[in-house]
Amino acid sequence: MAGRLSKTDVVSIDDLAIDEIERVFELAEGFAGALERGEHLSVADGLIMATLFYEPSTRTRLSFESAMHRLGGAVISSADMKSSSAAKGESLADTARIVSGYADLVVIRHPHDGAARVAAEYSLCPVLNAGDGSREHPTQTLCDLFILRRKKGKLKGLTVALCGDLKFGRTVHSLIYALARFGANIVAVPTSGMDVPEYVLERLAAERNYSFATVTMDELKSLAGGLDALYLTPSGPHQMALFTRDVPLEKIPAAEPPSTLDAFYVTRLQKERLANTDTASQAYVRFDARALRTHRTHEAVVMHPLPRTDELAYELDTDPRAVYFEQAAVGVPVRMALIAWLVEQTKASRERASSVTEKIRFKAEPSPRCANSNCITRFEGAHLRPRFRLARTMDRAALPLRCEYCERELRVEFVGHARSHRYYRYDENLYGYVRSWIDEGSLAVFETVKQAEENGYEPYRRGPQREVMDSAEVATAITSLAKQIVDDLPDLTNVSIVGVVSRGAMLALRLRDAIHAIAALTLPCGAIDVYSGSDIVQPLDGTTEFGVEDRNIVIVDDVINSGWTVQRAMTALWRLGRPSGVKLAVLIDRGHRALPIRPNYVGKRIPTSRTERVQVRLATNGKHKQQDRVMIYSVVEPMKEDQPG
């Protein structure tokens, strides 16, 4: 059944064209007046809006719900997803599909980057993004632009200083894209370590040829000509660069170089998104009335998407230039306008064509996972395969794939051709070939050589191979490993084995049996897949859970090449708990490795050079039985003039 509203999703602010945003503003002005006059409206009569909020909200959810009620529509709401079936593990895709059967419009907020795009793909009715992870918050931007234009009479040529957490602030990212399109100037004033992310800058540069200046708060103070007497530097070079006509023009997109600041857009530190590795500044911006005292800033308005924490002084609240409460209040007429615009779209039978170009669907296995640990594709399960497109960048030294969901770049080091089952270290000379492999659906990408080989790919060129161990020698090496472990670890009852998928996991089971043959004890045994994007250890012994806490863990792998795989397995283990000790057992120690990881237990030492590869082939119980064998061969890297044909 066709929906009551045409399938027009607003996942990004860029889903709305400039003239569409202008139309929303026109409608919003009308609704603001109608609200003041207390008019009864019926624009959304018979329509139901569902609000799915996987994260807390005051303004966005309540103003959306108020907007729908004011338009004569109805609302169903999951304000706390802990009381929905999401708490039982229902995927976002299923939730979106189901709820879109109960409503005509879905508004979603979610902690993961790209979640709104997933909801839009699976929902039968339009989806409006109310904030997804640190990516975007387009309807907040509509409110921001609306209030800015109301106060300044225009958007083109304005200069807006964005202050605070510009890394995780999703409202900032949507606002940047929009200001760039409206021809406004941006001065980024990030708190230390909270700069605008690369993927935002690259999108601006690639799609709009737009860039902006970044300064520290102290620099801004001096640039603005005396925001704070302490930091005043009357005619410093930065001041020339930012506030006079000597501005480097390529940095300033608008026709008029700025001489004053028109708005400060202050944001709170997004504490909920900080990872352990993020350097949240001790000295976060604290914005007060002093910032508005100079002749360059005294006309500026102060905006904030709210909620505020300590970054915005309460003393500003009574200053007429503080517009943040009005900015929140217009959330109702602006969101009414957006809903009414959707109704207009429907009446005019306007459907959106899919806007995505150069989409890569990986027919070849394995399909890569997104590098962003907060990307929705890392949480949704196997039904949602990461999707990438080639990023528009001049730098092709590493293959730049951009995630369709969260927009982060994945820089690929190894590529494979699915039909020939050859892999290559990527360099820019391969770009043309990779484009054709994408077209024919035969591109595979790998994080490591080991991953390529585990998937049955061979290097593009290699020297002759020779066998260095046969199946009897492999068996002897496994027995030797078992003996070393039994001799070394005094309390075997506290030992568990974790094999690295895939050959390490096969060896782990054999090692467990060999230890049982010596010590008459069956150790718990699990497998970890470092490429899967999940940290779980899958029990291999029929149990349901694999314990790590206070256990002595023996990680098992076939060969250490760079050491990267083992390092990732160790990191994953430490995320699961605190083992009392971690040891490493490898069937083959080839001596060479990039990371300083030394195995505790070694089956056999086979010294090799950097250009040689050791490949372990293990017998399986499958159809194509093969003998255990360990092979060695030299890798010949493709020369520039010797690319695949």
Q: Does 58 bind ligand CP (CB under 6 A)?
A: yes
Candidates 13-21, 51-59, 111-119, 438-446 — which segment interacts with ligand CP by CB under 6 A?
A: 51-59
DSSP element (H, E) containing 616: strand 612-617
Residue type, 368: P
CB of 79 to ligand CP, least distance (A): 11
Strand partners, 595: none
Angle 103-105-109 (CA atoms, 0-180°, nearest 5)? Answer: 110
Tell me how crowded residue 591 is: count the other CB atoms within 10 A of its CB. 11
Judged by beta carbon, residue 332 or residue 391, the one nearer ligand CP is: 332
Q: Does 305 bind ligand CP (CB under 6 A)?
A: yes
The residues, any chain, with a CB within 8 Å of residue 549's CB and separated by 6 or more, are: 577, 578, 579
Judged by beta carbon, residue 307 or residue 644, the one nearer ligand CP is: 307
Distance CA 629, CA 334 (A): 68
Distance CA 380, CA 132 (A): 14
Q: Which of 67, 56, 133, 145 is nearest to 105 (CA)?
A: 67
CB of 38 to ligand CP, least distance (A): 26
Candidates 53-61, 260-268, 534-542, 585-593 — which segment interacts with ligand CP by CB under 6 A?
A: 53-61
| Residue 528: both structure tokens together | 């970890």
CB of 58 to ligand CP, least distance (A): 4
Residue 78: C-alpha distances to residues 52, 108, 563 (Å): 5, 10, 46
CB of 140 to ligand CP, least distance (A): 5
CB of 141 to ligand CP, least distance (A): 10
356 burial class (0-12, 13-18, 19+ CB within 10 angstroms)? exposed
Judged by beta carbon, residue 79 or residue 254, the one nearer ligand CP is: 79
User: Of residues 175, 266, 306, 507, which one binds ligand CP by CB under 6 A?
Assistant: 306
| Residue 226: both structure tokens together | 């005396």
Residue 325: C-alpha distances to residues 119, 314, 380, 525 (Å): 30, 12, 37, 58
Judged by beta carbon, residue 120 or residue 330, the one nearer ligand CP is: 330
Judged by beta carbon, residue 57 or residue 565, the one nearer ligand CP is: 57
Judged by beta carbon, residue 239 or residue 327, the one nearer ligand CP is: 327
The residues, any chain, with a CB within 8 Å of residue 270's CB and separated by 6 or more, are: 134, 165, 167, 168, 169
Distance CA 556, CA 605 (A): 15
Q: Does 60 bind ligand CP (CB under 6 A)?
A: yes
User: Of residues 8, 12, 51, 57, which one binds ligand CP by CB under 6 A?
Assistant: 57
Candidates 54-62, 208-216, 252-260, 478-486 — which segment interacts with ligand CP by CB under 6 A?
A: 54-62
User: Strand locations in 277-430, DSSP E?
Assistant: 301-303, 359-360, 388-390, 399-403, 409-412, 414-417, 422-425
Candidates 64-72, 303-311, 483-491, 603-611 — which segment interacts with ligand CP by CB under 6 A?
A: 303-311
Judged by beta carbon, residue 55 or residue 458, the one nearer ligand CP is: 55
| Residue 624: both structure tokens together | 């194509």
Candidates 40-48, 304-312, 369-377, 555-563 — which segment interacts with ligand CP by CB under 6 A?
A: 304-312
Q: Does 174 bind ligand CP (CB under 6 A)?
A: no
Q: Does 573 bind ligand CP (CB under 6 A)?
A: no
Residue type, 478: I
Judged by beta carbon, residue 21 or residue 306, the one nearer ligand CP is: 306
CB of 278 to ligand CP, least distance (A): 20
> Three-state SS for 142?
helix
Q: Does 451 bind ligand CP (CB under 6 A)?
A: no
Tell me which residue has tokens 């989409």.
359
User: Of residues 10, 27, 52, 59, which one binds ligand CP by CB under 6 A?
Assistant: 59
Candidates 58-66, 258-266, 572-580, 607-615 — which segment interacts with ligand CP by CB under 6 A?
A: 58-66
Q: Check: CB of residue 557 under 8 Å from CB of residue 441.
A: no
Tell me which residue has tokens 């004890």.
521
Judged by beta carbon, residue 274 or residue 509, the one nearer ligand CP is: 274
Q: Does 377 bind ligand CP (CB under 6 A)?
A: no
Candidates 89-97, 300-308, 356-364, 495-503 — which segment interacts with ligand CP by CB under 6 A?
A: 300-308
Return the residues of window 122-141 that contact ligand CP according to CB under 6 A. Answer: 131, 140
Which residues are at the interface with ligand CP (CB under 6 A)?
57-60, 131, 140, 305-307
